[in-house]
Amino acid sequence: MASDDNLALLQALDTARTQWYHVKAIVIAGMGFFTDAYDLFCITTVSKLLGRLYFYNPTSHNPGKLPKGINNWVTGVALFGTLTGQLVFGWLGDKLGRKKVYGITLILMVICAICSGLSFGSTSGSVIGTLCFFRFWLGFGIGGDYPLSATIMSEYANKKTRGAFIAAVFAMQGVGIIFAGLVSMILSSIFLKCYKAPSFKDDPIFSTQPQADYLWRIVLMFGALPALLTFYWRMKMPETGRYTALIEGNAKQAAADMGRVLDTELEVETEKLSQFRAANQYSLLSHEFFKRHGRHLIGTMTTWFLLDIAFYSQNLTQKDIFPSMGLVKKASEINAIEEVFETSRAMFIVALLGTFPGYWVTVLFIEKLGRFIIQLVGFFMMSLFMLILGIKYQYLKEDNKWLFAALYGLTFFFANFGPNSTTFVLPAELFPTRLRSTCHALSAASGKAGAMIAAFVVQTYTLDQKVSSIRIAIMILSFTNMLGFFFTFLVPETKGRSLEEISGEDGGGQNETQMTARRSVTMKGGGHLEAI
Per-residue pLDDT, 6? 61
**Distant-in-sequence, close-in-space partners of 167: CB < 8 Å, separation ≥ 6:** 359, 362, 363, 366, 421, 424, 425
Per-residue pLDDT, 523? 39
Per-residue pLDDT, 324? 65
CA distance 180 to 38: 5
List, in sequence order, every residue forming a beta bridge with 522; answer none if it has no partner: 528
List, in sequence order, every residue forming a beta bridge with 529; answer none if it has no partner: 521
Per-residue pLDDT, 526? 42
| Listed residue (7, 25, 14) closest to 150, CA to CA | 25
Q: Return the exposure string of 278-294: e unless at least 16 CB atoms fall within 10 Å of the residue's CB, then b.
A: eebebebeeeebeebbe
* Cα end-to-end distance, the chain, whole Å: 28
Q: Where are the alpha helices (DSSP H) in 96-123?
A: 98-116
**Structural domain 17-491, CATH architecture:** Up-down Bundle (1.20)
Q: Contact 207/200 with Cβ under 8 angstroms?
A: yes
| Listed residue (271, 221, 276) closest to 247, CA to CA | 276
Would you list the DSSP string of 24-51? HHHHHHHHHHHHHHHHHHTHHHHHHHHH
Q: Domain residue spans in the chain?
A: 17-491
CA distance 487 to 419: 11
Q: In angstroms, what CA-CA distances link 114 with 69, 101, 221, 222, 224? A: 25, 21, 5, 8, 6
Q: What's the predicted TM-score (pTM) here?
A: 0.85
Q: Decide: residue 59, CB within 10 A, 0-12 exposed, 13-18 middle, 19+ buried.
A: exposed
**What does the DSSP 8-state code read for residue 59?**
G
Per-residue pLDDT, 259? 72
If residue 409 lies in a helix (H) or strand (E), which one and from where to where? Answer: helix 401-416
CA distance 486 to 488: 5
Per-residue pLDDT, 234? 84
Per-residue pLDDT, 281? 78
Q: Give the 3-state secondary structure of residue 519.
A: strand
Per-residue pLDDT, 446? 96
| Listed residue (43, 184, 180, 39) closest to 108, CA to CA | 39
Query: What string of H, E and C letters represents the secondary structure of 324-337?
Result: HHCCCCCHHHCCHH
Q: In angstroms, what CA-CA distances link 215 with 43, 218, 226, 229? A: 12, 5, 19, 23
Per-residue pLDDT of the chain (532 residues; tens, 9 = 90+): 444 456 777 787 788 777 787 888 888 888 888 998 899 889 989 999 999 999 988 888 889 888 888 988 888 898 899 999 999 999 999 999 888 888 889 899 999 999 999 988 888 999 999 999 999 999 999 999 999 999 999 988 888 899 999 999 999 988 999 999 999 999 999 999 999 999 999 998 999 999 999 999 999 999 999 888 888 888 888 888 888 888 887 878 877 877 776 666 666 667 777 777 776 778 888 888 999 899 999 999 999 999 999 888 877 666 667 776 677 888 889 999 999 999 999 889 888 887 889 999 999 999 999 999 999 999 999 999 999 988 988 888 777 878 888 888 899 899 999 999 999 999 999 999 889 999 999 999 999 999 889 888 887 777 666 777 888 888 999 999 999 999 999 999 999 888 888 888 776 544 444 444 434 433 344 443 333 2
Per-residue pLDDT, 294? 93
**Distant-in-sequence, close-in-space partners of 270: CB < 8 Å, separation ≥ 6:** 251, 252
Q: In angstroms, what CA-CA distances link 466 with 26, 68, 320, 349? A: 43, 14, 10, 24
**What does the DSSP 8-state code read for residue 117?**
T
Q: What residue type is assigned to position 208 of the chain?
A: T
Per-residue pLDDT, 61? 84
